Structure 1
Amino acid sequence: MPRRSIATLLKGLKKLLHVAARPAKSERVHGGRLIHTYRGYGTHREVFMMGRVFRQPGFNLNLPEGSWRRDLADIVRRTIRWGIKHIDVQIQLGGETVTVTTDRDGYFNAHIRLETPLPGDRIWHEAHLRILSPSKDQKSTCANDGAGGDAVADIYIPPPDIDFAVISDIDDTVMYTGVANKLKMMYHLFIARAEQRTAFPGVAALYRGFHVGDGDQHCQRPLLYVSRAPWSIYEMLEAFFRLNHIPVGPILFLREWGLTLQHPLPRKAEDHKRELIETMLELYDPLPFVLIGDSGQHDPEVYADIVRDHPGRIRTVYIRDVSNDPGREQAIAALSAQIDKEQNSQCALVLASDSLTMAEHAHQHGYISSDALERVREAQ
């Protein structure tokens, strides 16, 4: 292998180590019990959020910050950390305080009903979390493993004057398939020019256009992303969105695989997606939605069912054509004609081979600005 290629590979591997180690570095302490939070979401009536409590080894190694040895040690600590079951976590948001208990894998889900609405002058709010007690099933063994673990979670509540929200698939819709293969994904992210090799051209500009609409930075539409990948790669997906300048907007909905000997396979991805969309439609009723997916899986059929079950709630369905199968294209075209007939042309299913086709339709219907359309065109 040429020296230049070796040097590029080593540089990429060091960058990979540093970024992969970042989640462990960001924790308040290096060892003991820690809370990892995911972005929450909701309305001024109720809020939902999720997180995990885990134990992480400290190692007590005196390695220089920024060195590849330190990064490697941080990755090892993060890799071998494990969830703590049956532990109480207190969550404070505004004037409300609730207590939740972790499940057998250390995860917790919280549903907070708000007696007093949160401040309406911003869309992001902070929830403060704290571990209340030692695990009921495990004895504390770490020196800094007391009950003082705390964290802050970002909570997104959309402004009242938005015109619609967007739910988008990730795999083969925003990024090329490979999200379930961590090594392949990390290679593309940090060595093979992530901006060009992992995201479909024009996606970042199109989604930024959806997010801000006519450019009003204070009226940001919700962008909700769903993936069939497990929660364990949440941080990797966040890195992907940051590197490709795609608005995270704000939620990633992954799957809690929960594999057991009795149930060795995760539930079907289409069930996960359908349940998510149903939940969002109920939570943000009567807000309309735009749905984005791909032709490779069951997105067109799932979305068509949603359109039929919720007439008037879905404005447009965009399907990225990735199948290269004339038969599949004909089947989706038939679905599109059926939706058009059933909904009296109030909802369209658009099959698009690229982001520009979606952007042109979105601009015609006032979803994105002229500037956003030009940015998508320049990115093709």
Structure 2
Amino acid sequence: MFKTAFKALLPLLERGALTADRAFSGYVQPRRARGKLLLQPYVGWGTPGRVELRGRVLLPRTVAPARRTDPRLRNAQNVLRRLFSREVGGVTVSGVLNGQRAAAVSDSDGYFTLEFTPPSPLPGGWHQVPLQLDGREVQASARVQVVADARFGVISDLDDTVIQSDVTSVPRMLSTVLTGNARTRLPFPGVGALYRALTRDGEARNPIFYVSSSPWNFFDLLWQFLDYRRIPLGPLFLRNWGMDLLGGHGGYKHGVIEQIFQRFPDLKFVLVGDSGEKDPEIYAEVVHRHPGRVLAVYIRDVTEAHRDEGVLKLREEVRKAGVDLVLAADSLNAASHAMAMGLITPGEYRSVLTSVARSYET
């Protein structure tokens, strides 16, 4: 009964919160825009003929670079500074890619999206986009991933798939997320070696996309974590902090994956997630929606036996569609399957094996 009543009230709560937010923004945004501003670009992505770059305009915050020796209290303070960001709307942001200029105005949450359609096709790989707030000296540089000539792509969750977050236990998750930083948070054994093998860094790179329910406020923390742990970098798709987080995890993730599949209609994908939330169900539906587009599904086992039973049932359904779903406790089983499919080489498999073995030794 409570759940039914809450679902009925949710639209009213959302409309009330939206009205209050607009009223507050209408008052405070013009005043914020007159002060010192911070330009926070995210990671652009696209094809040789179309690129999208998102970012945010904020008031500056003081977050010192992460160190392994930072006390837990300082980490918690930095997390709170990220969460309670102060957004600035109504500001024009411009950028230049391959000689083409694009501009957009930040919305009430500070977000802006630049869209580029270069007159000549861009080469695959990473590109730099200089950004500027019009009429100000504030500048930044954004990275853009252009996908061309890839064998396949990788779509991966982050929490409890790449980074240990303990999402199945709320107290442990809060302790991990609130008191850790980019240097102290831990990856799962072998995940860096596995992802480097799948993306083939240094060759015709296979793109990787990270889709997470974490808020955009944590973008810099997650990006620094990936870079520090030598895990291949790629566009991050996160969620807006606030009422948007009340929406279903599955619906949000479905939408992002559909967007990626539509942008690259000729590209096949490997899907990587964990058993802690709804990744197996989401990926199973993606397999059925897009026959022949999914090469394999790798699910990290982070839950108890009763959840595993449900995932194994999904595995049988997915197998009927011609796709293997691998449920494994570490990266090694996924690497073994990937090697058998020819997605990675025997040498790359041995690198994953060595990485996993070393992690258990320390």
Interval containing the TM-score (normalised by the shorter chain): 0.7 to 0.9
* Structure 1 residues 126-162: Cα deviation after superposition (integer angstroms, max 9, x where no partner): 22222125xxxxxxxxxxxxx22222211111232x2
1:275 is paired with a residue whose SS is helix
After alignment, is 149-158 or 106-115 more displaced?
A: 106-115
Aligned to 1:148: 137
Q: How does 1:12-31 map to 2 (within 5 A)?
A: none
SS of alignment partner, residue 270 of structure 2: strand
Aligned counterparts of 2:51 and 2:300: Cα–Cα separation in 1: 32
8 Å Cα contact 1:257-1:267 kept in structure 2: no
Partner residue in 1 for 2:154: 166
Alpha-carbon distance change, 148 to 291 in structure 1, aligned in 2, over 3 angstroms: same
What's the Cα RMSD here?
A: 2.7
What does residue 110 of structure 2 align with? 106
Structure 1 Cα separation of the partners of residues 180 and 345 of structure 2: 31
Equivalent residue number for residue 203 of structure 2: 218
Do residues 329 (structure 1) and 288 (structure 2) align? no
Tell me which residue corresponds to 2:343. Answer: 367
Residues in 1 aligned to 2:179 and 2:346: alpha-carbon distance in whole angstroms: 35
Deviation at 1:257, TM superposition (A): 2.8
Give the Å deviation of 1:255: 0.7
Cα 1:154–1:182 change in 2 (3 A) is: farther
Comparing both structures, which one devotes a greater share of its residues to helix? 2
Once residues 103 and 223 of structure 2 are traced to their aligned partners in structure 1, the CA distance between those partners, rounded to angstroms, is 27
On the 8 A contact 1:174/1:199 being kept in 2, the answer is yes
Write the distance in 1 (CA, Å) between the matches of 2:174 and 2:55. 21
Change (3 A) 1:322 1:272: same
CA 269–75 in structure 1, closer or farther in 2 if over 3 Å, else same = closer
- In structure 1, the partner of 2:176 is 184
Q: CA 1:37–1:328 in 2, change beyond 3 Å: closer, same or farther?
A: same
Give the direction of change, closer, same or farther, for the CA distance of 1:188–1:115 in structure 2 (3 Å limit).
same
1:338 pairs with 2:317? yes
TM-score by length of 1: 0.73
Q: 1:149/1:217 Cα in 2 relative to 1: closer, same or farther (>3 Å)?
A: same
| Equivalent pair of 1:126/1:153 in contact (CA under 8 Å) | yes
Gaps of 5+ in 2: 1-34, 63-69, 357-362
Is contact 1:125–1:156 with CA below 8 Å preserved after alignment? yes
Q: Cα offset for 1:240?
A: 1.7
Structure 1 residue 379 displacement after superposition? 2.5
* Aligned counterpart for 2:248 among listed residues 259, 268, 282: 268
4+ residue segments displaced more than 3 Å: 78-81, 178-183, 185-191
**Alignment partner of 1:175 is 2:167:** no
Please state how far the C-alpha of 1:75 moved relative to its aligned partner. 6.5
Q: Distance in 2 between matches of 1:97 and 1:239?
A: 28
**Amino acid of the structure 2 residue aligned with 1:184:** T
Percent identity of equivalent pairs = 35
Matched, 1:257 2:259: no
Greater C-alpha Rg = 1
> TM-score, normalised to structure 2's length?
0.77
Decide whether aligned partners of structure 1 residues 183 and 36 sit closer, same or farther in structure 2, where only a CA change above 3 A counts: farther
